[in-house]
Structure 1
Amino acid sequence: MIPEDLLKQYGSISKDYKCGDFIYEEGMKSTFYFQIVSGKVKLNNFSEDGREFIQNIFEAPQSFGEAFLFINEVYPTNAIALTDCTICQLTSKNFFEILKEHPQYSLKINENLSRRLHYKMIMSQHIFSKDPAIRLKVLMDYFKQTHCTEETETEYIIPLTRQQMADLTGLRVETVIRTIKAMEKEHLLNIINRQIYY
């Protein structure tokens, strides 16, 4: 993403968050560009009965929340530290200055936003599928494409718990566990020490 030293040149500040801290809450006005220096962040919503639905999970050096700066909209989700983390925060004014003066990062931002939109559209096609393996495959494909840094054919370790996979796909955790075991039997993935290699 945008180099940390460049963010600092434009006035970014680094803030530390503890696991479970809210970085922003649903309904707040979008005012900052956020980029993760270390740790993980989840975007989520809570239903009226308190059930959590995770929209996405990000890790260093990914950014989040920037889409709403372009349309001056409030945040439709919460952003919560999934682990202890450090995050660079840059005002929207200075964020747009960077994009204007360093257009290569504008292209990178557009690419990332397009990938997220693509994932949401693919997932929405399958969200009511009776086959949970389809939903899980879309999720794992997305994480492999956006988080894997090696251009190799080696297997990628999915950085999600079974519960997080359930919250991201709208499935029950028991269904996720059962489906993953079935996918392993079909040689679609491997499970080693409870980690999923995809």
Structure 2
Amino acid sequence: MLIDLDLLSAHGGTIHTYDSHDYIFQIEETPRCYYQIVSGDVKLNYTNEEGKELIQSFLTKGESVCELLLFVDEKYPVNAVTISDCTIMKVPKAEFIQMLDEHPHAAVDVRKYISKTLYNKFIMMQNIASTSAEQRIRGTLKYFKSFFPDKTPFSYEVKLTRQQFASITGLRTETVIRTLKKLEKEGFVKIEDRKVYF
């Protein structure tokens, strides 16, 4: 967990449950709460002018959702949508900021998390800018595994559908499938029962 749930609870945090495909928040809403995933998975997405879904990120247990916007006066540039049944700890913004003031260790953890997220976003942007489908997919896999504690080969199960992978990388679904098969032959990924491990 990014921040201990008991600490969040002591500062006004409450547990909320969401069904799969529920919105936690939507584009243009004003950030009013800190959200930390207790269980389940969340995607950050938006729809472009052509009506195509573009996925910015996938988040899972222990991660926070767009916490950096609590520190600036901006609206959400993405939607947060559950992709499985989720339990979320929700803390009002004022109480969250007060908690960070009172507990410097939590503030340091949040700064580290934001810094790591931004660093990985820069790496992700470089990979997405590549014209090579293989480079895009390799970079995306490395990005997601960077948040996973076990770094041994094939320990990370990619919980993305091929379509979601295409939405993140800007590739066609067929290209993702073909490239993943190529990466499997090279020993970069392992595919078992249609699941990808990296």
User: Corresponding residue for 2:187?
Assistant: 187
User: Corresponding residue for 1:174?
Assistant: 174
**Are 1:61 and 2:53 matched, yes or no?**
no
Q: How far apart, in 2, do the equivalents of 1:178 and 1:28 lie?
A: 38
> In 1, are the aligned partners of 2:145 and 2:151 still within 8 Å (CA)?
no
**What amino acid sits opposite 1:26 in the alignment?**
I
User: Corresponding residue for 2:13?
Assistant: 12
For residues 17-74 of structure 1, what are the alpha-carbon distances to aligned partners after superposition, in whole Å with 9 as ceiling and x for unaligned?
1111111110011111000111111110001222100001111111112101111211
Q: How far apart, in 2, do the equivalents of 1:154 and 1:49 lie?
A: 36
SS at 1:15 equivalent: strand
What is the number of equivalent residue pairs in this alignment? 197
**Residue 177 (structure 1) shift:** 0.3
User: Corresponding residue for 1:90?
Assistant: 91
5+ long unaligned stretches in structure 2: none
**Are 1:130 and 2:131 matched, yes or no?**
yes
**Residue 91 (structure 1) shift:** 0.9
Which is further off, 155-164 or 165-174? 155-164
5+ long unaligned stretches in structure 1: none
What is the percentage of aligned positions where both structures have the same residue? 40
SS at 2:31 equivalent: coil
Q: How far apart, in 1, do the equivalents of 2:79 and 2:186 lie?
A: 37
Q: How far apart, in 2, do the equivalents of 1:156 and 1:131 lie?
A: 23
Which is further off, 133-142 or 113-122? 113-122
Q: How far apart, in 1, do the equivalents of 2:191 and 2:91 lie?
A: 40
Which is further off, 8-17 or 153-162? 153-162
SS at 1:127 equivalent: helix
Question: What is the root-mean-square deviation in Å for CA atoms of aligned residues?
Answer: 1.4
For residues 98-156 of structure 1, what are the alpha-carbon distances to aligned partners after superposition, in whole Å with 9 as ceiling and x for unaligned?
1111111112111221222122212222323221111111111111110x223545632
SS at 1:64 equivalent: coil
**Are 1:25 and 2:23 matched, yes or no?**
no
Q: How far apart, in 2, do the equivalents of 1:79 and 1:87 lie?
A: 12
User: What TM-score do you get using the length of structure 2 for normalisation?
Assistant: 0.94
SS at 2:121 equivalent: helix
